[in-house]
Amino acid sequence: TLPEATKVKLIERHEKKFRMAIEQRLTEDFKRHTSVIHLLIHTAPIADGSIILEYSSSDHARIIAEATVNNLPASEITSRSSPLLEKTPLIRWLLENFDSGKYGLIRITVSQSFFLKSIPMRWETIKRSLIQAIEKSSIPHPA
């Protein structure tokens, strides 16, 4: 095993490059668009057919999360949207460094069954609902 100091240096080195890459990408996106929604997709060993959409304080993120839940077939899956309360260090950094009027974040936690067994439905169906919600809520941006 690595000494603690070495672990910290490795994490910082990796994290710094990752954050710089995200920052550069968002800077480029803000040149072309008035707002950006960042989707973080996380699989978890939660109940089969469960989807949780947590959104940042951005109104645009909230609208997309709620619209996605409304697009999903309630008879087949359990879905909900709620404000993002538990923030990882990366999420805290993103929310501290980017204006909530322009930057929104949605963390999507889905049961592993969607990916591993397509139960109760294929992930593609869920993705389509999310894309439709994004398209319907799009804020026009300058050409």
pLDDT tens digit string along 48-65? 788 899 999 888 899 999
User: 45, 47, 67: which is closest to 55 by C-alpha?
Assistant: 67
Residue 37 is classified by DSSP as E
Between 21 and 117, name the one with better pLDDT. Answer: 21
- Using the predicted structure, report yes or no on whether residue 142 has a pLDDT greater than 60: no
Ramachandran quadrant class, 77 (left: phi over 0; alpha: psi -120 to 50; beta: rest): beta
CA distances 117 to 68, 85, 111, Å, are: 22, 30, 10
Spell out the domain ranges in the chain.
Answer: 1-32, 35-137
Share of the chain above pLDDT 70, in %: 97
Confidence of residue 140 (pLDDT cuts 50, 70, 90): low
Q: Strand 103-111 vs strand 36-44: parallel, antiparallel, or unpaired?
A: parallel
Structure tokens at 114: 């969607």
Share of the chain above pLDDT 90, in %: 32
